[in-house]
Amino acid sequence: MLGSDRESGTKVRYRLTLVTGLLECLFFAGVVFGWASLVFVLKTDGYFSDHCVNETKANDTGCSAQDKQFSLVFTVASFMNNFLTLPNGFVFDHLGTMATRFLAIVLYTTGTLLVALCSKALAFLFFPALSFIAVGGILFLLTNIQVGNLFGTHRSTIITLYNGAFDSSSAIFLIIKVLYEKGISLRTSFLFLCACNVIHLLRTLFLMPKSHVPYPVPKNYKYGISCGKSASYNMEECETQQELNYFSDSNRKDRDSEPFETNDSSQMENLTKKGSSFKSCVLSWFFLWHLTWLSVMQLRHYLFIGTLNPMLHQLAKNDATLVSQYTNAFAFTQLSGILCAPWNGLLMDRHKRKALNPGETEKEADLRSSVLSLFLTSLQCLLFSVCASIPLLPLQYATFILQVLNRSFLYGGNAAFISIAFPAQHFGKMYGLVMSLSAVVSLLQYPCFALVEALEGNPFYVNLSLTILTLLTFIHPLNVFLHCRRLASQRGSTQRPWMPKTH
């Protein structure tokens, strides 16, 4: 009876961790991507208007120099958001969840406080402020991704759900915009966000582990400060034992199949062996094409978000009311990110309740299941880019929908694929590296914006170039598909010698 109560209490804690983590990602983690809504408020208050020659015009519809400053703020913040994920990934892997979340809380508190203290004369504070908020937010997401380990068969679904919540949190800046129009100042809103860091602190202490959530999770696994010091040590020992058991099983399978192995040993098996180094993972084709897949689509999204406000001004012929209407529509569509993302997770988890193919490992099945998700994400981005390239204002409603759908699939699929394709002990570093390198590529958004300005504000040729570049992303799902087919072919060749001869 006591054991049953204990198991019930553990499940309640798991669910509470899941729900609070979802709320954390939904209301705080990705707010910087609602930048278009905040820019509308900042233009009204005249931030960076000193860069404009015509003050009246600057306070009304903005000017090219002012737009450049806002674009640069977002470029720097989005770059820092991704680039610093690499050192943060090392912090997460080596120091654990609690230390990583303390760092996130400090950064997020500092960022929201800087915005609250910012004024027209101190507009430059937005550069560090938005960057701190971005990096703190991605750290909240990084530490919450492991919550999917608590729910085995729904692991990818929960990872993508959290990424969808991260995308939807960009609507928080829309709420701040609406509150501003109702008379609540920007300072009050950001002081409130700053005070909410107490919630993050309590969750770190009571509903998150000190180190990491192991996968698979042992029976009656416990975490949080209520477990005491000894529970934390037991958790670490258990995680180590889980890894040893996993690699022991992998090595046993390798020995059993050794007589029938071909010279073309599978990349997946190499990556999942205990001896797999971080370097071997980075030098794999999986990593190269996954990096290309993420970088190209992320650049497309960042350029769209960073230039949305001036694009709407151009298409709406500087009608401030119309621009506000479309800005609100864009922000509202971001809310649906949390509804779109789980569909990607369900695609990746669709095989979990089915029996594995003869000789197929669970990791191979996960990888095979990811092909459709990767392909659909590339297809969505292509359609989104085509719509964004057509200078027709009503069509932008469709662009908004495709953008949030694709963004939800992109980041959820990114985290889920890394957790599938590479060893668990390198997750933080691999996730951090792919985000950091993609951040370097995302810096191209600023010269792209400058090129649009050089073309007298006409973004058609830049959009066309990015649409063509998007075709590169289809190579990644094709590569994974061919890899899975090679694995199936190898399994068939190893099983054939055991088949009875027919006469």
Calculate what percentage of the chain has a pLDDT beyond 70: 83
pLDDT at 241: 52
Q: Has this prediction a pTM greater than 0.85?
A: no
Model confidence band, residue 279 (pLDDT cutoffs 50, 70, 90): confident
**pLDDT digits over 222-232, tens only?**
888 764 443 44
pLDDT of 17 over the 70 cut: yes
pLDDT of 52 over the 90 cut: no
pLDDT at 192: 95
∠ CA 296-300-301, nearest 5°, is: 120
Buried residues in 348-367 as b, exposed as e (16+ CB within 10 A): bbebbeeeeeeebbebbbbb
Model confidence band, residue 122 (pLDDT cutoffs 50, 70, 90): confident
Q: What is the DSSP string of 276-345?
A: --HHHHHTSHHHHHHHHHHHHHHHHHHHHHHTHHHHHHHHTTT-HHHHHHHHHHHHHHHTTHHHHHHHHH
**pLDDT digits over 284-296, tens only?**
888 999 999 999 9
Q: What is the dihedral of CA 114, 411, 216, 95, to 10 degrees?
A: -30
The residue among 455 and 393 whose pLDDT is bigger is 393
Domain 12-231+288-491 CATH assignment equals 1.20.1250.20 = yes
pLDDT of 245 over the 70 cut: no
Least confident range of 4-8, 61-65, 182-186, 245-249: 245-249
Model confidence band, residue 498 (pLDDT cutoffs 50, 70, 90): very low
pLDDT at 350: 74
**pLDDT digits over 188-219, tens only?**
999 999 999 999 999 999 999 998 888 778 87
The residue among 77 and 453 whose pLDDT is bigger is 77
Distances (CA, A) of 69 to 66, 97, 190, 329: 5, 36, 21, 24
Residue among 255, 280, 297 nearest 385 (CA) = 297
Write down the mean pLDDT value for the chain. Answer: 81
pLDDT of 490 over the 90 cut: no
3-class secondary-structure state, position 195 = helix
For CA atoms 230, 234, 235, 240, the dihedral sign is positive
pLDDT at 51: 76
Residue among 134, 143, 140, 135 nearest 96 (CA) = 143
pLDDT at 352: 67
Q: CA-CA distance, 366 to 424, in Å (whole number)?
A: 14
Least confident range of 2-11, 368-377, 382-391: 2-11
The residues near 329 (Cβ < 8 Å, ≥ 6 apart) are: 397, 400
The residue among 360 and 19 whose pLDDT is bigger is 19
**pLDDT digits over 330-364, tens only?**
878 877 777 887 788 788 777 666 767 777 777 78
pLDDT at 239: 42
pLDDT of 474 over the 80 cut: yes
pLDDT at 155: 80
Please state the rounded mean pLDDT for residues 30-42.
88
Please state the rounded mean pLDDT for residues 78-94.
84
pLDDT of 503 over the 50 cut: no
pLDDT at 477: 95
Please state the rounded mean pLDDT for residues 22-30.
92
pLDDT of 328 over the 80 cut: yes
pLDDT at 447: 87
| Domain layout of the chain by residue ranges | 12-231+288-491
Please state the rounded mean pLDDT for residues 164-183.
88
Model confidence band, residue 116 (pLDDT cutoffs 50, 70, 90): very high
Least confident range of 351-360, 404-413, 463-472: 351-360
